[in-house]
Amino acid sequence: MDGETLQAGIELGSDFDDDFDPLFGVDDPALPGERYLDRELSWLAFNQRVLELAEDPAVPVLERANFLAIFASNLDEFFMVRVAGLKRRILTGLAVPTNVGRAPAEVLSDISQAAHVLQERHARAFQDLVRPALADAGIDIVDWDTLNAEERESLRDYFAKQIFPVLMPLAVDPAHPFPYISGLSLNLAVRVRNSKTGKQEFARLKVPQMLPRVVPVDRSESVESIRFITLEDLIANHLGDLFPGMEILEHHVFRVTRNEDVEIEEDETENLIKALEKELLRRRFGPPIRLEITEDMDDVTLDLLVRELDVTEQEVYRLPSPLDLGGLFDISRIDRPDLHYPKHVPTTAVQLLPPEPNSTPDIFKAISRTDILLHHPYESFTTSVQAFLEQAAADPHVLAIKQTLYRTSGDSPIVEALIDAAESGKQVLALVEIKARFDEQANISWARKLEKAGVHVVYGLVGLKTHCKLALVVRNEKGVLRHYSHIGTGNYNPKTSRIYEDLGLLTADDQVGKDLTRLFNELSGYAIEKKFKRLLVAPLHLRKGLLKRISDEAVNALAGKPAGIRIKVNSMVDETIIDALYRASQAGVPIDIWVRGICSLRPGVPGLSENIRVRSILGRYLEHSRIFSFANDGDQQVFIGSADMMHRNLDRRVEALVRLVAPEHLVEIDTLFDRAMDERTSSWWLDGDGTWTRHSQNDSGQLLDDLQNRLMQQIGTRKRTASRR
């Protein structure tokens, strides 16, 4: 790294040492009262954008099936966490007005209305659009009634051998109370008549979750032309085997969603792992918050379910079968390349290319030459971040490795590298966030495995989740200790790195290394208090640092100096940040917001936000990186890191942003934003009333540019050009 670049990194520290009064982040009666969009309805609008991809005939049909499954999975989590939280606060009397000042009960009603419309649209998208398109492509999901005698006989044999032995029908009568219905399970509600007594009975039959959701009709069928029947349809047509001597009167599929959000009360003396394991057990028995039923369910069965599950009318969702279209994940994995997005193989970052074909690059030497900005999944996680940590584990000159782990895969090579390093005598610190929602149990298992290998495992600070993505390697080079650092926007997860868009910085900058050393010491010790030179760290400094930079842009604009703000996040919710952006817009600052999910900011409102544009891009990859760029009177400041603009990220999590200083990296970020905000790029545009409008074609009906495809081509060309040098 040259002296000028290093000096820029050092001088940045002066910004963080100033006390800053956030004038551009306090409540101001001069701003209109109704200046935020409801965050829950904004989330539903995000999931609608996912659904629009499933409805798009230009998207390969197995990818459309995948988007239907993603929509279903997203909505399940939304109910389990957000809707459950609203309902809990209402029932306990702890409800406070939402971000738009409305009573939670009113918002819950709005959510229910919007969710009913979306779920119906989702079901119809499958029935009317995707299912026929799959059939045209040779993948047919059929009903039992359409099968011939030979096919039925084959499936009866399969049912008898593979399904019947694991089924457990549960009667409901005075001796058998209504059974517990586990969350997200598919169930058959069965009403039967005793052939001897004529008495009607009710039974519940759970569809086994460990069995494939769809069953091939003919197991010898080729992948080019294959038919499936859903597991619940197959079971429903063999109920006579489960209830011999009974007349089957009615059978209907239903599904319950429960409150599965985890709440942990921590104190200084609590064993966090044991507390969390206890809470995970409690999660299974959360109260029902949604009941999905097939549209043909009779009133007698429905009344019984509503009464026993204690759900309200608005919590009942009557839908076309099949329920739980998350089962389409199985269909979407069918090996038909012609029905998927074209295969993309991530390239190795140019700076990390081996000097000779089939040779192993020296990653430490590459990083010591220059900061390396990685862009996944266009550039390979395996040959960059994973290779960095694996080389560190094997390198005899490496003395210590320190890393945060928020979410990682079940067979993580990252974890294995840390274990190898510890077993070879290196000092290894792993900060494992065991409260990562829905990954808690997996993270507990990895934490214990790491501890057994001699890794120093810590769980962060009391009351805070550790969400930052950091890795620090300390290496002895001829008696001098050097720091090699990675700061990223995404998790250390090789599997999701292939489908999540993220940025990461590899650097040997000594100042970054010292910042990370202090931060890791504080995470494994006591509360974060120190100032940092090239980092912005939450919860104490990040909010203040961002507000200061936003206000600086407003001051520069009013003085006629170059000004501009560009932000890319998953969610834009925090009211203080939004108000600061409104004031900057009023001062004349052009502001671009690129958001994947929730956005509570209203763009384009005259007198408030006419200088703000908001775009959203969804596609084959999940846009996950976070970027903050400030024009700063010509001395551009750009940060990347782990934080979204939500209360939890700014106030209740440990987050870290790092400043990019290499001129080529600033150009790369500017180019990325230019392309994302270009009217010729396919995207969704948000207007001031909360409506997202898709712009995917021009006035002539031609498809607009796909940003992700363009980046694949551009970064692939970059590697080919480098290899010819």
Q: Which two tokens stand for residue 413?
A: 């090579």
Identify whether 346 is preceded by a cis peptide bond (ω within 30 of 0). Answer: no
Least confident of 42-51, 100-109, 497-506: 100-109
Scanning the structure block, which residue is given the tokens 């090239």? 534
**For position 447, what pLDDT does the model report?**
75
pLDDT above 90 for 528: no
Question: What are the helix (H) ranges across 436-541?
Answer: 440-452, 510-524
Q: Which of 252, 467, 486, 665 is labelled catalytic?
A: 467
Identify the residue with better confidence: 441 or 93.
93
Fold equal for 3-38+536-723 and 350-531: yes
Whether the full predicted model's pTM is greater than 0.85, yes or no, is: yes
Q: Are 512 and 535 a contacting pair, CB within 8 Å?
A: yes
* 706-716 mean pLDDT: 92
- SS3 per-residue string spanning 396-423: CCEEEEEEEECCCCCCCHHHHHHHHHHH
For the chain, give every domain's residue range: 3-38+536-723, 155-327, 350-531
CA distance between the termini of the chain: 22
Indicate the pLDDT class of residue 724, thresholds 50, 70 and 90.
very low
Scanning the structure block, which residue is given the tokens 């140019």? 350
Least confident of 113-117, 246-250, 315-319, 608-612: 246-250
Identify the residue with better confidence: 268 or 85.
85
**For position 92, what pLDDT does the model report?**
75
How does the average pLDDT of the chain come out, rounded?
Answer: 87
**266-280 pLDDT tens trace:** 333 345 455 544 544
pLDDT above 50 for 343: yes
**For position 287, what pLDDT does the model report?**
83
Q: How far apart (Å, rounded) are the C-alpha atoms in residues 234 and 711?
A: 45
**536-547 pLDDT tens trace:** 999 989 999 999
pLDDT above 50 for 3: no
pLDDT above 70 for 375: yes
| Residue 486 annotated among the catalytic residues of the structure | no
Q: How far apart (Å, rounded) are the C-alpha atoms in residues 666 and 637?
A: 8
**108-122 pLDDT tens trace:** 999 999 999 999 999
Mention every residue, 6+ apart, whose C-beta is less than 8 A from residue 233: 143, 144, 322
Give the fold, CATH level 3, of 155-327. Answer: polyphosphate kinase like (3.30.1840)
Task: Tell me the percentage of the chain whose pLDDT exceeds 70.
Answer: 86
Task: Tell me the percentage of the chain whose pLDDT exceeds 90.
Answer: 68
Q: What's the CATH architecture for 3-38+536-723?
A: 2-Layer Sandwich (3.30)
* 128-150 mean pLDDT: 95
**For position 276, what pLDDT does the model report?**
47
Give the dihedral of Cα atoms 633, 637, 638, 641; nearest 10 deg: -140
Q: Are 585 and 612 a contacting pair, CB within 8 Å?
A: yes
Q: Which two tokens stand for residue 427?
A: 């000092």
* 639-659 mean pLDDT: 94
**For position 15, what pLDDT does the model report?**
33
Q: What's the CATH architecture for 350-531?
A: 2-Layer Sandwich (3.30)
Mention every residue, 6+ apart, whose C-beta is less than 8 A from residue 257: 76, 79, 80, 183, 184, 288, 289, 290, 291, 292
